[in-house]
Chain A
Amino acid sequence: MNANTATPAKTKLRVATTSLAGCFGCHMSFLDIDERILQLVELVEFDRSPITDIKHCGPCDLGIIEGGVCNAENVHVLHEFRKNCKILVAMGACAVNGGLPAQRNHLDLRDILEEVYQTEPGLTHGGIPNDPELPLPLNKVHPIHEVVKIDYFLPGCPPPADAIWKFLTDLLAGRTPHLGHGLLHYD
């Protein structure tokens, strides 16, 4: 490596990621950056993330959220991320808009619970679970920016690995992320 006295020794940026009401598809797409992950770990260190299995988030430079907010626990996790991350990114359609899980929004939650746990034939009717250990579902599924301030949005379902890579390298280099032509499309 070039030892250049003008650039101070780089401290690695800390990054945390999580999946809320999502399908992990965005994280899978993230892993699709393939061998570039070796370049990435030169630059960053992972805090709380499915990759590390760290359970709680410490102070971080960057937090990446997949999935929308569908239950009380999602809200807690999101608060924890916002409190600890200088920059918070919504990754993928579910985080940005609510996405697929928000398809339940045109149904009444009470009807859903009743049908699934009490009336629908063919399902076991154990009653609606009410163990305090379980997080309660919200009346509606929300995009994450409706709960905390989000600094950047990375659209796609999932965003392609190249888009994630471009987005992250922009951010890490201090540039405002810009996907540009080819990485931002409708299908």
Chain B
Amino acid sequence: MPDAPEKTIAAVLARHKGDGTRLMQILREVQEELGWLAPETITEIARGIGWPRARVEGTAAFYSFFHTRPRGKYCVLWSDNITDRMLGNRDLMLALCKKLWLEPARLSEDGLVSVNTTSCTGMCDQGPAVLVNYRAITRMTPERVDQMAELIRNQVPLDEWPADWFRVEDNIRRKDALLDHGLVPGEALAAAMEKGSKAFLDEVKASGLRGRGGAGFTTGMKWEICRDAPGSAHYVVCNADEGEPGTFKDRVLLTSYADLVFEGMTLAGYAVGAQKGLLYLRGEYRYMKDALEAVLARRRGEKLLGSRILDKDFTFDIEIHFGAGAYICGEESALIESLEGKPGRPRIRPPFPVTRGYLDQPTTVNNVETLAASCLVARHGGAWYAKLGTAKSAGTKLMSVSGDVERPGIYEYPYGVTVAQILADAGARDTQAVQVSGPSGVCVAAEEFGRRICFEDIPTAGAFMVFDESRDMFEVARNFAHFFAHESCGFCTPCRVGTQVVARLMDKLAENHGSPYDIDEMFKMHRLMQGASHCGLGNSACNPLFDTLNKFRPAYERRLKSLEYEPAFDLDAALSQARQMTRRDDAGAHLSNED
């Protein structure tokens, strides 16, 4: 018998000591128990944390994984990245809907089930992927769809579904310095603490280690600014939001290299003088919770976390926070807002998080891979690390390879590897293009496959989506346009409106209503959004469009209806209802584009 809702809410609030900055976790835990966040629930939570109700509702409404309306006993979300599309997710989703007598995005009349899409869930190497009640399922097939419909109709609890469905593979295909680290837990930390925090920080600076989250900021410099910034406390945040479609390397690191990641966070804490680290894990990776908590518990037992780490005067512990389905929370200042229980809207910078971040205190936000790599620096020294890779890009990089390749998965290379090399290793054939670093990255065409993965040439957060010659690059760009339109946080007008305008123009072209004017308009949007948006999302939202328009223009031109302006809809069909109601069919009851 489940407890009365008030009891559940009270228990969750007590667990979090009524602390409003923990609102994200409170909402998630309450929703996990009660199914959705009813108006009374929101009121109760607001009272419990002493916030105005509207603020709690504002947070609940911002995140796609929070439900302020009844959601159904089974909530099936299909990952809708282009790689899932290429693996046939649309047909599978429609088949599931048909079996359940359901339209996509609608709750079934009996309130049992809803089926919808969601942004990339980070399973691109083993799609088509779905989330059922926010638990990840990989490798969907028509057979699995049939079975799933049965399980749902018979209301079989999720825990009794075939365990194999929930299996997530690492698919590590190539290891280098990081994945072959050979360290035992605590080894890197002991080495750093042997040197002392200042000397260790100098090693990090000497290593040339740069951020793996996308921007490529020098890690040593970031830590030094943070360390030197005045504040009552310092914080380390590990950015495991991994929302960029096509990226899944942080998932693998946290699955099989969690010790390395936590040790990296501890090293960062040691370097900047923090006592607390927060792992911000995307809601899609909720299934990792128990395993990660177990690693943390073990590390506490081994004196690698907690007070008097390795019996020295250093205290540090790590807590896991979950996101709730918002790509923008990968942006570090939005992430911090989210950590504080607020909607994930990027802050106005400066001040940057390194001086005023979490709870307004100096905070270093680093990517999972950056932190893991810092262990190598601690163990082997800065000079050793700096020798790996290229002059301006020290070390190795994990690439998340997916799409049209024989062996999708994780490939680790020293920086400087060519696109062609990765393609060859992954077994790609007849490749037309590679989207490096996800929708906000660059689209690389065949004649550029000699280019190199490094900050000097193609910087990347690690996504590497491969498209062979059978693929339509226009559809790739259209998928990305919809991704950005869905994920824009809505804070600033250029991006909120611009991403929608672009998505609609792409749909207009897709429906064969396009004209060259529409292409001009998209270029205009690109310039406008790049210059006027508040954060990186808006700045880069038109990148895929711009790249594909330049490199694959015929994919667009093929779709143009004519070189004259074309209406956005079929003029004659727009009179259909009036014709039906008036029973008219005279010349005046029809329209064409030429008068």
Contacts and interface: CB of A to CB of B under 8 A. Distances in A.
Given A149-B517, A149-B565, A136 B579 contact: yes
Interface stretch (A19-27, A139-147, A166-174): A139-147
Nearest to B517: A149
Interface in A102-157: 108-110, 113-114, 128-130, 132-133, 135-140, 142, 145-149
Nearest to A149: B565
A108 B581 CA distance: 12
B408 to A, nearest CB: 41
B581 A75 contact: no
Given A130-B583, A130-B584, A109 B578 contact: yes
Contact of B576 (A128, A139, A145, A149): A139
Interface string A58-83: 00000000000000100110011011
Most buried by A among B574, B575, B582: B574
A137 B565 contact: no
B505 to A, nearest CB: 11
Contacts of B571: 75, 147
Contacts of B565: 82, 148-149
A146 B567 contact: yes
Contacts of A128: 581-582
A128 B517 CA distance: 39
Contact of A146 (B569, B575, B582): B569
A135 B565 CA distance: 24
A93 B292 CA distance: 54
Contacts of B583: 130
A146 B571 CA distance: 10
Contacts of A139: 573-578
Interface stretch (B64-72, B183-191, B318-326, B585-593): B585-593
Interface in B123-167: none
B580 interface: yes
A154 B589 CA distance: 32
Given A76-B595, A83-B595, A149-B517, A132 B586 contact: yes
A98 to B, nearest CB: 12
B567 A110 contact: no
Contacts of A138: 574-575, 578
Contacts of A129: 582
Interface string B409-420: 000000000000
Most buried by A among B571, B579, B581, B588: B581
Given A72-B591, A140-B574, A114 B581 contact: yes
B367 to A, nearest CB: 39
A142 B580 contact: no
A136 B567 contact: no
A146 B568 contact: yes
Contacts of A130: 582-584
Nearest to A77: B595
B527 to A, nearest CB: 14
A140 B574 CA distance: 7
Contacts of A113: 578, 581
A147 B579 contact: no
Contact of B584 (A114, A136, A142): A136
Contact of B578 (A80, A83, A132, A137): A137
Nearest to A136: B578
A128 B581 CA distance: 7
Contacts of B593: 79
Contacts of B588: 72, 132-133, 135-136
A83 to B, nearest CB: 7
Contacts of A132: 584, 586, 588-589
Interface of A: 72, 75-76, 79-80, 82-83, 108-110, 113-114, 128-130, 132-133, 135-140, 142, 145-149
Given A72-B591, A110-B581, A147-B571, 9 more contacts: A128-B581, A132-B584, A132-B588, A132-B589, A133-B588, A136-B575, A136-B582, A146-B569, A147-B568
Shortest 6 CB-CB distances between A and B: which pairs? A130-B582, A149-B565, A146-B568, A136-B578, A79-B595, A138-B574
17 contacts: A72-B588, A72-B591, A79-B593, A83-B595, A114-B581, A130-B583, A136-B582, A138-B575, A139-B577, A139-B578, A142-B568, A142-B569, A146-B567, A147-B567, A147-B571, A148-B567, A149-B515
